[in-house]
Amino acid sequence: MRHERDAATRRLSGGERFVLALLVVTLFAAWWTDIRPAGVAPRGGNASSGRTNGAAFAPLPPVSAVTEATAPDTTYPGAGVHTRLTLEADPAKVRRELRLVREMGATWIVEYFPWLYLQPDGPDTYDWVHADLVVREARAQGLQVIARIDGVPGWARPTGTTWKYLDAAGYPAYARALAAFAARYRGAVERVIVWNEPNLSLEWGGRKVDPAGYAAMLRAVYPVIKAANPQMEVVAAGLAPTQASEQSAEGLDDLRYFVRMYDAGAGQYCDALSIHAYGGTAPPDANPDGGNRVFRHAEKQRDLMVARGDGAKPVYITEGGWNDSPYFTGAVRPAERVRYSVAAYRYAQMNWPWATTVALWQFRLPEPANSPDDNWTFVTTDFTAKPVYEEVQKVLRSTR
Amino acid sequence: MNEERGRTAKTPRTPRRYRYDVSPLRGIPWRSWRLGGSSVFAILIGLVLLVPFVGFLREVPANPALPPPDRSWQIVRGRGVLRVGMDFGRPPFAFTAPDGQLVGLNVDLARDLAARLGVRAEIVNTPADGFTDALRTGRIDILVSTLPPEPAFRDIAYSAPYVEIGERVVVRADSPVRVPDDLAGRRVGAELGSDGDLALRVLARRLPLTRDSDYDTDTAALAALRAGSLDAVIADGIGARRAVAADPGLVMLPQPVRPRTFVWATKRSATSLTQQTDRARADARADGTLARLDARWLAG
């Protein structure tokens, strides 16, 4: 007992205190790096971390300060491609891909920035890391970026709905996210597409499509984006070139949808329109009366714009092209894909002065899809230039 | 404090005095624990020693050296059915014939595999974007489809290749060309934009050959080869097989220019089933079944 009491009452020696302090620090480090609850993750970071709180509407110095490269060498300044960098995490690969875009002779990219990746944790925080990377690298290559933003985070929609579901109650949160993007990339990104193909039920959260509902979405987000960055062009979503009937559960014919969207006032709440111009199995100069999946079907939508007094607004062809998969019924032969893609850029350059850019779908996939999706690309996943890349490059580059 | 006072009232004790002057621990009611500084110190050491195991226990619930018992083969055998996933829209591997029957190389392979295992094949339409998920969720037991090896998925076991469809060089039967490198200095053609064209362009970056890939179809390029205006044509593996099968005046080099294979896949945890299917595939290769089905569907 005496021994126990002595042991219990003695002071810790200096060495023991040092070791004890070391152990406490070790325990804390272990807790911080491995065991801590997710909710204790750092918040409200600064621009260098890429994580900001909701109030951080200031432009991002690292991105907008990047010296923009000189415009790419091209015979057609409107040439563009839709990139698929969303899931490309490796900065070196992002840089390499965008350099290949420039070297092909394209000057525009359309890129998807999912809202659910920008605000995964809630309405008050943003994760800008990947968006910063893409925007910075695109500017470094002298490329113009058209940003498409949609995809609803779980916290912004009712339980059990898809990530494409957003009802009117969620429009303010969506507007704030778009405005935050517009403010952050002021001077670096000048166009933002609101939603994607809302004339498809799949893209409208599994609901019956609703042109007036989409017009209401534009009406809700437009003033908020403009307040954050008056220079940001608000671009109405490209419509899927479907011929779905009124009774279809899958969607609605794009021209009918367009008319109703405009009748509901959509034209007042967008500065420009995007159009999806897929060529199906026809050459790019095929008569636009031949159906919705004809490259020149874009002219039909443009005619509707003009008829409604919106002829002065810019048009961006943000998707389009041909697929050459032997496993896809809507595909063409590989030689046709090459010739049609080259001819499409040429056709637009010669005949579509109203189209600021023609961005064909899609430049590269970060991983092979092992499906016909692979047959839209211009370069392989491992950055090997496909023949379509080289042939387009041949006509777009004035000096090689 | 109140609690101690109450206890003292019932059972009087001689108060003990402890000295705790290590500042991080000040204020903690050690007194009620009746622990000394050295005991606390020993407990902390013990806790620290446990730290490395926390993550380990969290991430690996069982000793990896002792995987849970695998019943995958037992389940398939008991069910009497092997569920084989494949994409039905992949001619000539799996497609619907005019009479409505599902046919193709993968279909025949699946039935042969099941027969060798003594069970019945149930063929499940599995689109390409759902290959791995179908395996992971147990919707299918094995995937026999047009799947390239994807070592990125660690939970999937990929078999040895069952078919090679990489681009091949086709030459006239009297050609001295034996390997792709013999194409140096020769005129080589391909269908514009095809996989053969891609392989040709890659080859042309390291070999001094004349590339002529302006043909609208493989057929047109092969016609130029027969006519003597080309020394070789590069076509995808199936196109090359069919060309030489249809024309005895043409031969295909055995070595692909750009190797591309398809494999079978099972869940990595399904070790017993994988052993069975690997054995069955080896048997099918050894007795010539694989070669026979390859010739029937890919060269026919």
Q: What is the pTM of this model?
A: 0.80
Residue B262 sits at the chain A interface (C-beta within 8 Å): no
Closest CA to A41 of B257, A33, A71: A33
Q: In this predicted structure, which of A138-147, A223-232, B130-139, B165-174 has the lowest mean pLDDT?
A: B130-139
**Amino acid letter, residue B2:** N
Crossing angle between the packed helical segments B105-117 and B289-298, to the nearest 10 degrees: 160
pLDDT tens digits along B212-248: 999 999 999 999 999 999 999 999 999 999 999 999 9
Q: In what order do the strands lie in the sheet with B250-252?
A: B210-215, B187-191, B232-235, B168-172, B250-252
Say whether B41 and A367 touch across the interface (CB within 8 A). Answer: no
Closest CA to A328 of B87, B300, B227, B32: B87
Say whether B192 and A11 touch across the interface (CB within 8 A). Answer: no
Contact A216, A171 (CB under 8 A): yes
CA-based nearest residue in chain A for residue B192: A335
Residue B38 sits at the chain A interface (C-beta within 8 Å): yes
Residue A36 sits at the chain B interface (C-beta within 8 Å): no
DSSP state of B295: H
Structure tokens that stand for B42 in this block: 């020993």
Residue A370 sits at the chain B interface (C-beta within 8 Å): yes
The 3-state DSSP class for residue B113 equals helix
Task: Give me the residue from B16, B54, B193 closest to A388, CB to CB.
Answer: B193
What residues of A are in contact with residue B55 (Cβ under 8 Å)?
A: 34-35
Distance CA A19, CA A179 (A): 52
Say whether A9 and B19 touch across the interface (CB within 8 A). Answer: yes
Radius of gyration of chain B, Cα coordinates, nearest whole angstrom? 33
Say whether B55 and A35 touch across the interface (CB within 8 A). Answer: yes
CA-based nearest residue in chain B for residue A340: B193
Say whether B37 and A8 touch across the interface (CB within 8 A). Answer: yes
Query: Mutate which of A4, A6, A9 to test chain B, going by most B C-beta atoms within 10 A?
Result: A9
| Residue with token string 């206890």 | B7
Say whether A368 and B148 touch across the interface (CB within 8 A). Answer: yes
Say whether A333 and B129 touch across the interface (CB within 8 A). Answer: no
CA-based nearest residue in chain A for residue B36: A8
End-to-end CA distance of chain A: 93
Say whether B213 and A386 touch across the interface (CB within 8 A). Answer: no
Under the banding of pLDDT at 50, 70 and 90, the label for residue B131 is confident
CA-based nearest residue in chain A for residue B153: A367
**Amino acid letter, residue A362:** Q
Indicate the Cα dihedral angle B23, B26, B31, B34, nearest 10°.
-40
DSSP character string of B146-172 = EE---TT-TTEEE-S-SEE--BEEEEE
Indicate the Cα dihedral angle A309, A314, A315, A316, nearest 10°.
-160
Quote the pLDDT of residue B94: 95
Distance CA A204, CA B27 (A): 59
Buried b (16+ CB within 10 A) or exposed e, B15-34: eeeeebebeebeeeebeeee
Distance CA B60, CA B80 (A): 33
Closest CA to B50 of A252, A23, A395, A1: A23
Per-residue pLDDT of chain A (400 residues; tens, 9 = 90+): 445 445 445 566 777 777 777 777 766 665 554 444 433 333 333 434 465 554 444 444 445 555 567 778 999 999 999 999 999 999 999 999 999 999 999 999 999 999 999 999 999 999 999 999 999 999 999 999 999 999 999 999 999 999 999 999 999 999 999 999 999 999 999 999 999 999 999 999 999 999 999 999 999 999 999 999 999 999 999 999 999 999 999 999 999 999 999 999 999 999 999 999 999 999 999 999 988 999 999 999 999 999 999 999 999 999 999 999 988 888 999 999 999 999 999 999 999 999 999 999 999 999 988 889 999 999 999 999 999 999 999 999 975 4
Say whether B192 and A335 touch across the interface (CB within 8 A). Answer: yes
Buried b (16+ CB within 10 A) or exposed e, B193-213: bbbbbbbbbebeeebebebbb
Distance CA A242, CA A255 (A): 9
Say whether B201 and A367 touch across the interface (CB within 8 A). Answer: no
DSSP state of B188: E
Q: CA of B18 to nearest chain A CA: how many angstroms apart?
A: 5
What residues of B are in contact with residue A27 (Cβ under 8 Å)?
A: 44, 47-48, 51
Pairing of strands A108-112, A144-149: parallel
Question: Mean pLDDT for chain B?
Answer: 85
What residues of A are in contact with residue B59 (Cβ under 8 Å)?
A: none
Say whether A338 and B18 touch across the interface (CB within 8 A). Answer: no
**Amino acid letter, residue B106:** N
Structure tokens that stand for A329 in this block: 């019924």
Pairing of strands B232-235, B261-267: unpaired
Element at A165 (helix H, strand E): none
Task: Give me the residue from A7, A35, A387 closest to B54, CB to CB.
Answer: A35
Say whether A8 and B147 touch across the interface (CB within 8 A). Answer: no
Say whether A335 and B44 touch across the interface (CB within 8 A). Answer: no
Residue A9 sits at the chain B interface (C-beta within 8 Å): yes
Q: Is the dihedral of CA B118, B124, B127, B132 positive or negative?
A: negative
DSSP character string of B173-192 = TT----SGGGGTTSEEEEET
Quote the pLDDT of residue B63: 61
Contact A36, B58 (CB under 8 A): no
Residue A3 sits at the chain B interface (C-beta within 8 Å): no
Greatest Cα-to-Cα distance within chain A, rounded to the nearest angstrom: 104
Task: Give me the residue from A8, A12, A368 closest to B18, CB to CB.
Answer: A8
Q: CA of A14 to nearest chain B CA: how many angstroms apart?
A: 10
Element at B82 (helix H, strand E): strand B81-86
Contact B166, B256 (CB under 8 A): yes
| Residue with token string 């007042």 | A268
Backbone angles phi, psi at B248, to 5 degrees: -65, -10
Quote the pLDDT of residue A159: 96
Contact B166, B261 (CB under 8 A): yes
Proportion of chain B above pLDDT 70, given as a percent: 77
Say whether A12 and B37 touch across the interface (CB within 8 A). Answer: yes
Whole-number Cα distances in Å, B256 to A111, B240, B241: 36, 10, 12
Rounded (5°) CA angle B230-B234-B239: 115
Distance CA A266, CA A211 (A): 9
Residues 6+ apart with CB under 8 A from A171: A216, A217, A220, A221
For chain A, the 3-state helix, strand and coil shares in percent, each to the nearest 5, are 40, 15, 45
Under the banding of pLDDT at 50, 70 and 90, the label for residue B34 is low
* Side-chain half-sphere exposure of B50, counting CA atoms within 13 A: 11
Query: Mutate which of B198, B202, B263 to test chain A, going by most A C-beta atoms within 10 A?
Result: B198
Residue B43 sits at the chain A interface (C-beta within 8 Å): no
What residues of A are in contact with residue B16 (Cβ under 8 Å)?
A: 5
Query: Mutate which of B213, B234, B261 to test chain A, going by most A C-beta atoms within 10 A?
Result: B213
ipTM of the complex: 0.82
CA-based nearest residue in chain B for residue A392: B193
Say whether A30 and B89 touch across the interface (CB within 8 A). Answer: no
Distance CA B27, CA B40 (A): 14
Determine if the peptide bond prior to B29 is cis (ω within 30°): no
The 3-state DSSP class for residue A320 equals strand
DSSP H helices, B60-122, are: 72-79, 105-117
The 3-state DSSP class for residue B67 equals coil
| Residue with token string 């359309």 | A110
Backbone angles phi, psi at A276, to 5 degrees: -100, 120
- CB neighbourhood size of A19 (10 A): 15
Say whether A333 and B18 touch across the interface (CB within 8 A). Answer: no
Backbone angles phi, psi at A16, to 5 degrees: -65, -40
Residue A13 sits at the chain B interface (C-beta within 8 Å): no
Residue A148 sits at the chain B interface (C-beta within 8 Å): no
Residue B133 sits at the chain A interface (C-beta within 8 Å): no
Q: CA of A139 to nearest chain B CA: how many angstroms apart?
A: 30
pLDDT tens digits along B175-187: 999 999 999 999 9
Residue A307 sits at the chain B interface (C-beta within 8 Å): no
Say whether A26 and B128 touch across the interface (CB within 8 A). Answer: no
Structure tokens that stand for A90 in this block: 């490796």
E strand map for chain A: 51-53, 79-82, 108-112, 125-127, 144-149, 191-194, 233-236, 272-278, 315-321, 355-361
Distance CA B288, CA B294 (A): 10
DSSP state of A31: I
Residue B204 sits at the chain A interface (C-beta within 8 Å): no
